[in-house]
Chains A and B, each alone.
Chain A
């Protein structure tokens, strides 16, 4: 809606809300980028800094929650304003979770840096690059109220899921090859899982953009394959593990 409210302060407040989401989004993106950097470059100092910085995102979320409470109480928003405010509240919670996942990645990076590297890591940085772009694009879609763009991001998550499944398989193979790989590979697996979760949060945000603009929830269901290929590896792993154990 192009026209402005009769009460100017209301417009400013809604603008403030949008700006804060953008700020939180920017921070969450940075957090993910540095967490991945700390893993790739084996830089524990950067990882620690990333973990510390999570506070900033948490604080922003609290501020935003308080602000939304105030808006709801004082303005009694209706229609698109109401959707705008509810969407901001939910997106903020997704962004906070994204930053949490980034923190988890940083924590695992510190653990990884204390042991020798397994193999050069291609898939995780690539997966992370994809997810970072998703966050960036979905935030742009939010700012521009561009549903098509948001939906495009939503569909892109399939690719992340596929990469995650492939990576899971690859890591399982390493672990089967050598039990010494189990510790680093478990850390890597958790890192990948966190990045995959971040992708899911990006799709949540995409769904909120849909709701915000159209006023109805996004209903499309994702076709979920439950880790294809994993089943093929796992039973073999059990048998072998048991055999060698006995």
Chain B
């Protein structure tokens, strides 16, 4: 068992990892269309959970439920329970802005603000009042950029617009921006789909490092990516979780025919 752990490395999760977020009986519909039905998932702390499934299966909807991004969508009805550290995040008394500081998000297309690199990373700490003075803010900005693996590349050009960076750098800037407010959970919606393989590898490496301090949920269409970066994988199909488990297990020996069909390219 010892040897096996060493061999498979980071992909094998400890069984006793605490649950960071959980959903129970989660239903989501957009008007008459039901997007999710009875989703029950546990997201474990300091692990990368990958969500895979065909387009329209509900994985992005699910991700957006985790920090209440669906609140802003008209006609979207969410019912059921979503918890962070055991507390219902749809509780009326809860401040959504605070919630989103605890649960950050990185999107498919890098979307830096039309501001300088510095201001992009400083944006969150500023609005949340996390720094007492300029020195503290500087430190947060540098640390975030370091954690996002971008600092060395941008240290001499902090005043340049974020949009002047390459695609991969922009995405890492967005990750730095998310990290800057010290979230506990980072949600990633296909963070590499607009990037080349090298930039993708950098982001994947980064995800693996970030896992030490954050809980990460990633939606990806790239199954190899899910297999590489995650410890646990959930397969969504038609708004339901068909199978959820250890990533290695799911990709080598899935238990459900539908999972098997999807990951081997037999769907349809």
Q: Give A contacts to B, CB under 8 Å.
A: 1, 3-7, 10, 76-83, 215-216
Contact = CB atoms under 8 A, between A and B. Distances in A.
B264 A78 contact: yes
Contact of B251 (A1, A4, A5, A79): A79
A5 B260 contact: no
B264 A81 contact: yes
Nearest to B259: A79
For the residues of B in contact with A, the DSSP-based class is: helix
Given A1-B261, A3-B261, A76-B224, A215 B252 contact: yes
Interface of B: 223-224, 227, 251-254, 257, 259-261, 263-268
B224 A79 contact: no
B52 to A, nearest CB: 11
Q: Specify the main secondary structure of chain A where it touches its partner.
A: loop
A215 B266 contact: no
B260 A1 contact: yes
A3 B266 CA distance: 7
Q: Lowest 7 CB-CB distances: which A-B pairs, in order?
A: A215-B253, A78-B263, A81-B264, A3-B266, A5-B265, A78-B264, A79-B264
Contacts of B251: 78-79, 82
Given A1-B261, A3-B261, A82 B252 contact: yes
Given A5-B265, A79-B259, A79-B264, 13 more contacts: A1-B264, A3-B261, A5-B264, A5-B266, A6-B267, A78-B227, A78-B251, A78-B264, A79-B251, A79-B260, A80-B264, A81-B264, A83-B253
Q: Which of A4, A5, A216 has the most C-beta atoms of chain B within 10 angstroms of its own C-beta?
A: A5
B265 A79 contact: no
A78 B223 contact: yes
A76 B223 CA distance: 10
Nearest to B251: A78
A1 B257 CA distance: 8
